[in-house]
């Protein structure tokens, strides 16, 4: 796969008792430049929905309403979606592999591409020299081995030559904050 065809998708959902629930997805190229951005308007559940869904309401909104509508609205196909919220790992749509990508304060691993298995579905990955590794958490039923796993690692390593691979999640977060504050 050439660097030019590598696309990385980053998704965030927010829940606020005063602003409602909303989310966004940013697709970047391998250098971190934006290719596509989509966000939802805030969703404020009614009192009846709050009672009927109970404690499952927030998870339902994040996974089945916000993430599903965002993925379906994208004009470009994505195969991997990086998220911050572990709940989103439960999304099952459009053959999209979702994994949680978080920065760490762990000591750097020896070389880019080195990884340390934490659990069968979780690793620390070194993406660039002199930077801390990132933590990747896959769905419970995913094992960190095989072709699909190697494709994820390859995409992150290619991107890691040009950017901090977790930084676009911060951009999505800041953009959603602007939406909530109505500063767009």
Instruction: Quick: pLDDT tens for 12-46.
Output: 999 876 778 999 999 999 889 999 999 998 899 99
Low-confidence ranges of the chain (pLDDT < 50): none
Question: Checking phi first, is residue 57 left (phi over 0); if not, alpha (psi -120 to 50) or beta?
Answer: alpha
The strand ranges marked E within the chain are: 7-16, 20-29, 34-39, 80-83, 97-103, 115-119, 122-125, 134-137
pTM, whole model, 2 decimals?
0.90
Q: Are 88 and 78 in contact (CB under 8 A)?
A: no
What pLDDT, on the 0 to 100 scale, is given for residue 2?
55
Q: How far is CA 34 from CA 26, 38, 42, 140, in A?
A: 7, 11, 23, 30
DSSP H helices in the chain: 47-53, 57-60, 68-73, 147-160, 167-180
Supply the pLDDT for residue 78: 86
Domains assigned to the chain: 3-180 (3.30.2170.10)
pLDDT at 184: 56
């Amino acid at each position: 796969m050439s660097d030019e065809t590598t696309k990385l998708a980053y998704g965030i959902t927010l829940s606020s008792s005063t602003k409602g629930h909303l989310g966004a997805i940013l697709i970047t190229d391998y250098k971190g430049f934006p290719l596509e951005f989509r966000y939802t308007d805030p969703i404020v559940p009614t009192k009846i929905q709050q009672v009927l869904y109970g404690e499952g309401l927030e998870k339902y909104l994040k996974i089945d309403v916000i993430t599903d509508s965002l993925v379906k609205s994208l004009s470009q196909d994505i195969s991997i979606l990086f998220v911050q919220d572990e709940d989103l790992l439960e999304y099952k749509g459009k053959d999209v592999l979702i994994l949680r990508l978080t920065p760490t304060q762990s000591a750097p691993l020896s070389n880019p591409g080195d990884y340390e298995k934490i659990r069968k579905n979780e690793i620390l990955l070194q993406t660039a020299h002199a930077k801390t590794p990132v933590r990747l958490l896959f769905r419970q039923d995913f094992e960190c081995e095989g072709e699909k796993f190697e494709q994820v690692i390859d995409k992150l390593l290619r991107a890691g030559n040009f950017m901090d691979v977790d930084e676009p999640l911060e951009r999505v977060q800041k953009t959603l904050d602007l939406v909530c504050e109505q500063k767009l």
